[in-house]
Structure 1
Amino acid sequence: MKVRLLVATATAVLLGTGVPVPAAAGPAAPVPAAPAPVPVARAFVPATGGAAASGVPASGVVPPAPCPKAPAPRVSRPPRPSPPPAVPSERAVGGPALDTAGLVVPPGAARPPAVTAISWLVADLDTGEVLGGCGPHEYGTPASVQKLLLAATMLPRLDPRQVVTVTDEDMDIEPGSSAVGLVAGGRYRIETVWLGLLLQSGNEAANVLARLGGGADGMAGGVRAMNEEAHRLGALQTHAVTPSGLDGRGQFTSAYDLALIARACFADPTFRRYALTETHRVPAQPAQRTKGFEIQNENQLIYRYPGALGGKTGFTDLARHTYVGAAQRNGRRLVVTLLGAEPQPARGWEQGAALLDWGFSVPRGSAVGRLVEPGELTAASAAAPPPALAATGDPRPAAASGPFEDGLIARWPVAVAVATAVALLGAALLWRRRAGRPR
């Protein structure tokens, strides 16, 4: 009985301070099974993997092999942040075959093209079938493809005809980062702000939209809404810290999650129109003495790939090149997502185009998994006993995905509490000793 009490007390302390506890301390979120079985996948896994790493029966696994990689020049980049600990139930979302750091494709499919991306995924926007991927549930930093999560969250909330005023706080973006050219005090239709976000990847536009959609809490409320929408879509590995995708501590996503987010975006006709818009004129702001100017869509896929539906580019020194693109051919609509690519020997959109070509070559009905439906995982979680942290309602703590040093910093409240308790006990004993002495 005493042991159980000690274990319960220790678990409560760990949960209260945000320190991870063993999986046995609480039930894992259930992952609904696919409505129909998919063909057994061939999983190419690294040499350290195997059947257990790929999540498919040993009989369906070819000898271990890595993802096909194109040679890329070495570049200087900041150290990659430590991702959150892997959660088995999250890595199995969409099917057990997707739980691999290697390549997974349907039986009989051609080998995908070699790309420089660290991870990628190709899926059918209409059926939700995942046609293949490389490390689909591996964590990566999103850069500006995170703006798609902002779009999925805020497009239904904001009236595109409303005129809004840009604030000084909206203009607080990293010097030298992508901006569309909005000015503080300027008045713009929300539709213009959306086009500035999606065509030119304007980070100040992202701040405006997050602030407007965040309600009384402004931009912070907007980011919180983005995380709530990611959870609703089933993108359990996604955690937003900035609305624009500018790097932030604890900000991660995965190729699989990006496909879920992109699918939600392309289900919206307004987004589809914006994504294929080639040019837009931003109006002059006489009060700020700025002239009007024209912006162009930076996604080369819409100009150079037959049947392109649009998408989003992204880049930071940390994330490198990220990309989401979609296209239609012979009645099929496919989406490709990739993270951590280098622009040589092919740019991000070109790597995406090559993977789309491969995806269209995969026979209909062939799949290695599926994209879960919006609300599917949250409905399953609601039917199960709530986890210990559900009462907080907060998104995953950013500290959980920081580097090792951040983990030590995140534990300082525990050390302070212990030190305080020891100090109080010592003070009490000293007081008792002094009270017994003559004055």
Structure 2
Amino acid sequence: MNLASGVPVLPKDVTARSWIIADAESGEVLAAHNAHWRLAPASTLKMLFADTLLPKFPKTATRKVAPSDLAGIGSGSSMVGIKENETYTVHDLWLGVFLRSGNDAVHVLSAMNKGVKNTVQEMNQHAEELQALDTHVVTPDGYDAPGQVSSAYDLTLIARSGLQKKDFREYSSTVTAKFPGETAKNKKGKSVRKSFEIQNTNRLLTGDYDISQYPGIAGVKNGNTTNAGSTFTGVAERGGKVLLVTVMNPEKDEHNEVYKETARLFDWGFKAAGKVEPVGELVPPKGAADAQPGATASGQANDAGSGEAGGGAGTGGDSAKPVASATTESGSSGIGIAFAITGGLLALLAGGAFLVNRRWPLRRR
């Protein structure tokens, strides 16, 4: 592989079956390995669930949970602790989805969206709109199911779409939050409902005993099932560059291995950005592609999906604008949420875009 002067060799201790490193703004794929392999996505599929449903319900909307809302949750699922006959806000439910990867929260939100079957149909339609052509949804929560697949390329596309939404960015970067508990009688016989703390399971965001919080990390979503192994998509900013990395199913069976391999790929990406020839690009949604002839799904095929590829000598696209530091939401603490331009300006949400791809305008959302 030809590398420009000063560009490091790709890390050799990455054992994932599939991975990708992409520039979040330009969409350029800096390096990839089996990026279009169709693999079980586990809970990283919740990014598509969120990108599909987040615009539908205001944060303040409420749902009293019926027993039918929690039907069909897979055995051994990750749960945030939702109780029947208790009322939760949509804000509570999304915290449960992003922080604890709660399949119970996914099922309640799906019930609000006319059921699991309808939600799965809408997720597949949204994947098609995003040109995430390797993705097929069977369960909205990512629980293992025959025929349910995605790819490192698609998960990166989906994350990039989700990160255009303010709520998506905030939830995926929230470290801890308070979650409503079960209503009970106190000593005086009065009904009270206490809350308990939940923590994000993304270890690049929170850190752990064998891994530090990754500098500049701002989300996105992790997953783990028997069939999928460990999966993770992350976004981080450094030196004015915003990168997306997806890692699927490391063969090395060590604690937090998926995060360790993601961190190595981030390190390489930040050193290589602007110095390597891109091996492909993240395609725009269908609507944006239709508005610009030539920007079609064929952009996926620039060697980003077969074998291992890293950029050759050359220069990348325009650099991304720097992003601001963390913000904090009432009732929760966040790290690196921001995606706002340095100097106090808000992110380009008023124009419907996050770090707008200079090659195609994102449609107003």
TM-score by length of 1: 0.59
**Within the alignment, does 1:269 sit opposite 2:166 as a pair?**
yes
Distance of aligned partners of 1:378 and 1:248 in 2 relative to their CA distance in 1, 3 Å threshold = farther
- Name the residue aligned to 1:191: 91
Matches of 1:155 and 1:251 in 2, distance apart?
22
- 1:118 lines up with 2:17 in the alignment: yes
Mark the CA change 1:299 to 1:222 in structure 2 (over 3 Å): closer, same or farther: same
Q: More helix per residue: 1 or 2?
A: 1
Q: Which residue of 2 aligns with 1:355?
A: 265
Does structure 1 residue 312 correspond to structure 2 residue 221? Answer: yes
Displaced runs of 4 or more, over 6 A: 287-290
**Structure-2 change in CA distance of 1:175 and 1:130 (3 Å):** same
- CA 351–229 in structure 1, closer or farther in 2 if over 3 Å, else same: same
Matched, 1:327 2:236: yes
Map of 1:165 onto structure 2: 64
Cα distance change on mapping 1:235 and 1:329 into 2, 3 Å: same
3-state SS of 2:232 partner? strand
Q: Are the equivalent residues in 2 in contact too, given 1:307–1:327 (CA < 8 A)?
A: yes
SS of the equivalent of 2:177 reads strand
Asked if residue 344 in structure 1 is aligned to residue 290 in structure 2, the reply is no
Kept in 2, the 8 Å contact 1:211–1:219? The answer is yes
Verify the 8 A CA contact 1:117 1:340 in the aligned structure 2: yes
Quote the residue 2:205 is aligned against.
302
Which of 35, 38, 41 matches 1:142? 41
Partners in 2 of 1:167 and 1:175 — Cα distance? 19
Aligned-partner SS, 2:156: helix
The Cα offsets for residues 350-369 of structure 1, whole Å up to 9 and x where unpaired, read as 21111111111113163111
Structure 1 letter corresponding to 2:152: A
Shift in Å, 1:342:
4.4
Deviation (angstroms), 1:158: 1.6
Distance 1:116 1:267 in 2: 30
Q: Which has the larger radius of gyration?
A: 1
Shift of 1:284: 3.1
| Structure 1 unaligned spans of 5+ | 1-41, 43-61, 63-105, 384-439
Q: How many residues align structurally?
A: 277
Mapped to 2, the partners of 1:265 and 1:257 lie a distance apart of 12
Letter in 2 for 1:368: V
Identity across aligned pairs (percent)? 40
* Pair 208,342 (structure 1): closer, same or farther in 2 beyond 3 Å: farther
Match of 1:275, as an amino acid? Answer: S
Please, what TM-score do these two structures have when normalized by structure 2?
0.71
Determine which structure has greater relative contact order: mean sequence separation of CA pairs < 8 Å that are 6+ residues apart, divided by chain length.
Answer: 2
Which one-letter code corresponds to 1:143 in the other structure? A
**Mapped contact 1:120–1:338 kept (Cα < 8 A):** yes
Contact preservation (8 Å) 2:30, 2:273: no
1:237 touches 1:252 (CA, 8 Å); kept in 2? yes
Cα distance in 2 for residues equivalent to 1:287 and 1:169: 22
Partner residue, 1:282: 179
5+ residue gaps, structure 2, are 186-190, 207-212, 295-365
Q: What residue is the counterpart of 1:212 in the other structure?
A: 112
Residues 46 and 141 of structure 2 are in contact (CA less than 8 Å); yes or no, is this contact kept in structure 1?
yes
SS of corresponding position for 2:97 = helix
- Equivalent position to 2:157, from 252, 260, 279: 260
How far apart, in 1, do the equivalents of 2:158 and 2:275 lie? 22
- What is the one-letter code of the residue matched to 1:281? K
C-alpha deviation, 1:150, in angstroms: 0.3
Q: 1:178, 1:201 within 8 Å by CA — same for their partners in 2?
A: yes
Contact 2:17 2:251 in 1 (8 A): no
Q: Is the CA contact (8 Å cut-off) linking 1:234 and 1:378 kept in structure 2?
A: no
Aligned to 1:423: none
Structure 2: distance between partners of 1:330 and 1:259:
21
Which residue pairs with 1:14 in the alignment?
none
Q: Which residue of 1 aligns with 2:284?
A: 373
What SS is found at the alignment partner of 1:222?
helix
Cα deviation 1:69-115 (Å, max 9, x = unaligned): xxxxxxxxxxxxxxxxxxxxxxxxxxxxxxxxxxxxx7665332222
Tell me the alpha carbon deviations over residues 123-158 of structure 1, each in whole angstroms, 9 at most, x when there is no partner. Answer: 011111111110111111000100001011111112
Partner of 1:285, secondary structure, is strand
Instruction: Please point out which of 147, 160, 166 is paired with 1:250.
Output: 147
- String of CA shifts for 1:13-57, please: whole Å, max 9, x gaps: xxxxxxxxxxxxxxxxxxxxxxxxxxxxx5xxxxxxxxxxxxxxx
Higher percent of residues as strand: 2
